[in-house]
Amino acid sequence: MPFAPSDMTLTSPAFGNGDVIPTRHSGEGEDRSPALKWSDAPAGTAGFAVVCHDPDAPLVSPAGTYGFVHWALYNLPADVTSLEEATTLGTAGINDMGNIGYNGPMPPAGHGLHRYYFWVIALDRVTDLPEGLTLWQLLEKLEPHILGMNRLVGSYQR
């Protein structure tokens, strides 16, 4: 993932940075995306994307990507600075479960604690990308337009 840290803040009423993600947002629970809120986007922000990635998943693809993608959400205009739980806003990509939309944490039993990075990405333009992009396809399209990003990290284990 390209890296463009910024002063944006990303929070969730469901969990704090470094805290455990509630079961309701996991594959063992209701599998609902958590509510998120962000602020302090860089000047010139015209749109956003949100992703959730587990870098602790022991998976490397033939293309050299790593971890497990739980969510890719894009085509969010600049006036959207929060998402309700189980949001229907934006356009969803395909996750590594092979589904469109959000699939929450569910690391292999006994694999220990995994970290889940929720990223908000500020863009210099509004996007109109098709549904079903993988995270890596999405980042290829977004990379030239990224103004800044920041993350909220939660954890989960079975």
- Could you please report the per-residue DSSP string of 56-74? TS--B-TTS-BSEEEEEEE
CA distance 23 to 9: 24
pLDDT in tens, 91-142: 999 999 999 999 999 998 888 999 999 999 999 999 999 999 999 999 999 9
* Domain assignment present for 3: no
pLDDT in tens, 23-45: 999 999 999 999 999 999 999 99
Q: What is the mean pLDDT of residues 85-94?
A: 98
Residue 82 pLDDT greater than 70, yes or no: yes
Closest CA to 73 of 57, 97, 53, 58: 53
Please give the residue range of the domain that contains residue 59.
9-156
Listed in order, strand segments (DSSP E) in the chain are: 9-11, 36-39, 47-54, 68-77, 82-83, 91-92, 114-123, 146-156
Q: Can you give the CATH number for the domain in which 151 is found?
A: 3.90.280.10
- Within-domain flag for 107: yes
Q: Which of 61-65, 73-77, 101-105, 132-136 has the lowest mean pLDDT?
A: 61-65
Q: What are phi and psi of 97, to 5 degrees?
A: -85, -10
Could you tell me the sign of the dihedral formed by the alpha carbons of 16, 48, 33, 82, in that order? positive
How far apart, in whole angstroms, are the C-alpha atoms of residue 20 and residue 113?
A: 10
Q: What is the CA radius of gyration of the chain?
A: 14
Residue 62's CB: how many other CB atoms inside 10 A? 5
Count of beta carbons in the 10 Å neighbourhood of residue 144: 10
Residue 1 has pLDDT above 60, yes or no: no
Mean of the per-residue pLDDT values for the chain? Answer: 93
pTM of the model: 0.93
The number of folded domains in the chain is 1
In a domain, 4, yes or no: no
> What is the identity of the amino acid at 49?
A
Give domain status of residue 138, yes or no.
yes
Classify residue 47: in a domain, yes or no: yes
